Chain A
Amino acid sequence: MSISQSLFYFLAFCSIFFAILVVSAKNPVHSVLYLILTFFSIAGQYILLNAQFLAVVHVIVYAGAIMVLFLFVLMLLNLNAESEPQKSGILKFAGVIAGGMLLVVLVASLKNADAIQPKLAPNNQIGLVASLGKELFTNFLLPFEVSSILFLIAMIGAVVLAKKESGRLDYKIED
């Protein structure tokens, strides 16, 4: 077994292990920290796949931006293991069974799929900035520009939604 193969299996084990911890951890802050570790092992997979640009973008966007946002919101809401709402045991069991059935269906349907032979010659340069940039600014120019509008909308939406409204009474649930 070569070093890249053993690296793949090690990273795959890490990502699955930490992903299970994400959904099973009682404390939401621990969940976020495990999710960061999962994202780092997925970034390692990108490097193994010769997708260096994506690995860097993944670390910047997910570990740098999204997880900081999650942590900020968790700290802001002051959540901990005691305030964590829990589903009843039977509902949890049913959820795990349903997810496991989905996995079985996915594996069973893909097990007998025929592999398509690659049409293009092997090329380990496609994951670099030069080739992806060329593709992005020729074939995918319109989606690229549209995504900037999406970001503008998301930015305005986030600011408008999270802004404190003045002169409005707090709505409380009566139990």
Chain B
Amino acid sequence: MNEAIRMVPLEHYIWLSAILFAIGVIGVLTRRNVIIIFMSVELMLNSVNLLLTAFSSYHSDPAGQVFVFFIMAVAAAEVAVGLAIIVMIYRNIHSIDINDLNKLKG
């Protein structure tokens, strides 16, 4: 497994991450279910994580992987709070359609 790095050009990791990020953006733009939008955001975070790890491995610098570790920690906290907000919204308006959330404005 040691020769696995540097056999695949670094560009291919960039393309892969760009494609995954674009799929996440498309998911946010085309869906109305709040939970699926949330999952698309997770997909975007993961594509960035993958790219950071690739750069870290190709440049033999552990700082990139520590960043990924922190991003995972923040993502876990974000998901816990975000899902709690979604549950509260559903309990109040019985819908998770983002078009209903414009009623939040005063």
Is the beta-carbon distance between B32 and A5 smaller than 8 angstroms? Answer: no
Count of A-B contacts judged by CB separation below 8 Å: 250
Q: List 25 A-B contacts (CB under 8 A).
A: A5-B8, A16-B20, A23-B40, A32-B39, A38-B43, A39-B46, A49-B53, A51-B65, A53-B65, A58-B49, A58-B72, A70-B39, A86-B32, A95-B30, A96-B26, A99-B23, A103-B22, A106-B22, A110-B14, A110-B18, A132-B66, A135-B63, A150-B74, A151-B73, A171-B92
Is the beta-carbon distance between A161 and B85 smaller than 8 angstroms? Answer: yes
Tell me the B residues contacting A by CB distance below 8 Å.
Answer: 1-8, 10-12, 14-16, 18-27, 29-33, 35-36, 38-40, 42-43, 46, 49-50, 53-54, 56-63, 65-66, 68-70, 72-81, 83-88, 90-97, 99-100, 103
When distances are taken between beta carbons in the complex, the residues of chain B under 8 Å from A4 are 1, 3-4, 7-8
Is the beta-carbon distance between A173 and B93 smaller than 8 angstroms? Answer: yes
Tell which of A23, A115, A126, A157 touches B57, judged by Cβ atoms closer than 8 Å. A126
Interface string of A1-31 (1 = CB under 8 A from B): 0101101100010011001101100001001
Interface string of A45-77 (1 = CB under 8 A from B): 111111101100110011001100110011011
Is the beta-carbon distance between B6 and A150 smaller than 8 angstroms? Answer: no
When distances are taken between beta carbons in the complex, the residues of chain A under 8 Å from B12 are 8, 12
Whether A87 touches B59, Cβ cut-off 8 Å, given contacts A12-B12, A73-B83, is no
When distances are taken between beta carbons in the complex, the residues of chain B under 8 Å from A166 are none
Tell yes or no: A118 within 8 A of B by CB: yes
- Chain B nearest CB from A139 CB (Å) reads 7
When distances are taken between beta carbons in the complex, the residues of chain A under 8 Å from B62 are 126-127, 131-132, 135
Is the beta-carbon distance between B70 and A143 smaller than 8 angstroms? Answer: yes
- Chain B nearest CB from A114 CB (Å) reads 11
Is the beta-carbon distance between A171 and B93 smaller than 8 angstroms? Answer: yes
Is the beta-carbon distance between B43 and A158 smaller than 8 angstroms? Answer: no
Whether A103 touches B39, Cβ cut-off 8 Å, given contacts A122-B6, A126-B61, A127-B57, is no
Interface string of A101-126 (1 = CB under 8 A from B): 01100110010000110111111101
| Complex: A5 Cα to B9 Cα, angstroms | 10
Q: Across the two chains, which residue of chain B brings its CB closest to A134?
A: B62
Tell which of B4, B74, B84, B100 touches A173, judged by Cβ atoms closer than 8 Å. B100
Tell yes or no: A170 within 8 A of B by CB: yes
Q: Across the two chains, which residue of chain B brings its CB closest to A20?
A: B23
Tell which of A19, A66, A164 touches B23, judged by Cβ atoms closer than 8 Å. A19
Is the beta-carbon distance between B86 and A16 smaller than 8 angstroms? Answer: no
- Chain B nearest CB from A61 CB (Å) reads 5
